[in-house]
Structure 1
Amino acid sequence: MLKKLITFLLPWGLRRRLLHYWFGYEIHPTARIGWAWVFPGKLIMKERAKIGHFTVGIHLDYIELGKYVSIGRSNWITGFPSSGKSKHFAHQSGQRRSELIVGDHSSITKHHHLDCTNSIHVGRFSTIAGYQSQFLTHSIDIRLNRQDSIPIAIGDYCFVGTNVVVLGGAKLPSYSVLGAKSLLNKAYDKEWGLYAGVPANLVKYMDKDYQYFTRQEGFVF
């Protein structure tokens, strides 16, 4: 804990070096973490990746942010490490990894909650937009009376609207949109779709010439 407090208070250049020396984190010289409490078991941040102020990332095995990934301020990213002797998730021993992996040029805006008890994978050029969305990989299995967890997958070139709920086992296919305030609770496989509603369903297909789906930079002007 003392080492974490020391690194948190230091200027970024020195903090980055100590994060590598003390914790083994792999942070590219052009990557940056703001005044954020981010201490997973292992951290990889590639070129120009950044994490904004007041974001918390704790109790995870692994976080990997690809090139030019942006995680905004005040996000809450938590999990339940796969190591240890806890009875929770013992039935998934060797099958579960508490991790967040975000592909190149993708972004997570601000004030979101990502429960990474199991894996959350966000593909390339995708946007978790707006505010107050929840990604929940774990819940209680009432049939077996135990906590259970299932991964969440967001494909490449996806746009996730504000204030959504995404549950364990959900998959948003590449080149898809999830409408604001929707509940995604199952795995879909049809690309180029607009998914919306509670629960979300395929509403319509979108034209493949939309410029969002063909851009070569993550930032949307």
Structure 2
Amino acid sequence: MKKALTMLCGLLPLNPVKIFLLRALGHSISYKSHIGISVLYVDKLELRKHSRIKHLNFLKMKKLVLGEESFIGNYNIIKGPMEVSLADKAGISKQNKIRRSYAPISYGRAVLQLGQNTIIVSKHFLDLTKSIYVGDNSIIAGIGSQFWTHGYYHAAQGKDRIRIDGDIHIGNNVYIGSGCIFNPGVKVSDAIHIGAGSVISKNLVDKGMYVSQGLRYIENSIEAIKSKLTKVEGFDLIEQVYTKK
């Protein structure tokens, strides 16, 4: 019932009335924040002063936290059993899609966390099967980057396959150009610039500039892959799932 009433409040046109009603429902909303006309199907809202949710967003999640002067722009779709936390002056600009599937596909907790002054620009896709953490003063620039926290590996024959999950960690002062693809479990250290169109399939440690490499062959098998991973058990999932160690 609380989520349904929260959603109705999000559709009201008058900001002061909207904030008053959301506070009455138990959400922590500053009167100095602003909420446009958007669908807010959220269990828990925390909006600090001068934070903003602009018009025509679809936000369906467990928890949304916006720090001071942080923002969510227009036409974003954020959907699934996840938590989203933006530190002060962080932002998700417009037309981004952030999604997570429900159990028994997903399991446990997943968080999208943006540090201070970190921005996701426009038309990017973030898979929140697992968590994505971005540090301070970083930018996911341009358009069309994809962040995948799960992937698959198939046996050479037959129907056997496993899913491989892994959090993505991106450090402070990182620049990510248009059209980059991040694989599950990768870590990007501080002060790294990634050129447009790059595929990030391994950890980036040394500060500096990285650009995409040519396609290369890697000999492998599903059993070899399994031996390097940890099997996820106890969640009654619909498929075999492994995480990176």
The TM-score range, normalised by the shorter chain, is 0.7 to 0.9
2: CA distance, partners of 1:176 / 1:162: 15
Match in the other structure for 1:28 = 48
Establish whether residue 55 from structure 1 lines up as the match of residue 71 from structure 2: no
Match in the other structure for 2:128 = 116
Matches within 5 A, 1:64-213: 64-80=85-101, 84=103, 86=104, 88-89=105-106, 96-143=108-155, 145-190=161-206, 192-198=207-213
1: CA distance, partners of 2:17 / 2:161: 47
| Aligned partner of residue 94 in structure 2, secondary structure | coil
Cα deviation, residue 103, structure 1 = 0.2
2: CA distance, partners of 1:15 / 1:199: 52
Summarize the Cα distance change of 1:127–1:79 in structure 2 as closer, same or farther, 3 Å threshold: same
Unmatched tracts of structure 2, length 5 or more: 27-42, 216-245
2: CA distance, partners of 1:150 / 1:168: 5
Q: Which amino acid aligns with 1:45?
A: L
State the superposition RMSD in angstroms: 2.2
2: CA distance, partners of 1:17 / 1:29: 14
1: CA distance, partners of 2:115 / 2:209: 21
Count of residues in Structure 1 that have an aligned counterpart in Structure 2:
190
Q: Does the Cα contact within 8 Å between 2:195 and 2:211 map onto a contact in 1?
A: yes
Match in the other structure for 2:220 = none
Q: Does the Cα contact within 8 Å between 1:80 and 1:98 map onto a contact in 2?
A: no
Identity of paired residues, percent?
A: 26
TM-score, normalised with respect to structure 2: 0.70
| Aligned partner of residue 40 in structure 1, secondary structure | strand
Match in the other structure for 2:218 = none
Summarize the Cα distance change of 1:184–1:13 in structure 2 as closer, same or farther, 3 Å threshold: farther
Q: Point out 4+ residue stretches in structure 1 off by more than 4 angstroms.
A: 16-20
Unmatched tracts of structure 1, length 5 or more: 201-221
| Aligned partner of residue 6 in structure 1, secondary structure | helix
Q: Does the Cα contact within 8 Å between 1:123 and 1:154 map onto a contact in 2?
A: yes
Cα deviation, residue 141, structure 1 = 3.4
Q: Does the Cα contact within 8 Å between 1:97 and 1:117 map onto a contact in 2?
A: no
Q: Which amino acid aligns with 2:209?
A: L
Summarize the Cα distance change of 1:172–1:17 in structure 2 as closer, same or farther, 3 Å threshold: farther
1: CA distance, partners of 2:214 / 2:165: 19
Q: Does the Cα contact within 8 Å between 2:44 and 2:62 map onto a contact in 1?
A: no
Residues 78-137 of structure 1: per-residue CA shift (max 9 Å, x gap): 1135xx4x1x35xxx5xx532100001110101000111101001000000000110111
Match in the other structure for 2:62 = 41
Summarize the Cα distance change of 1:153–1:24 in structure 2 as closer, same or farther, 3 Å threshold: same
Match in the other structure for 2:11 = 9
Q: Which amino acid aligns with 1:197?
A: S
1: CA distance, partners of 2:120 / 2:17: 26
Match in the other structure for 1:203 = none
Q: Does the Cα contact within 8 Å between 2:164 and 2:184 map onto a contact in 1?
A: no
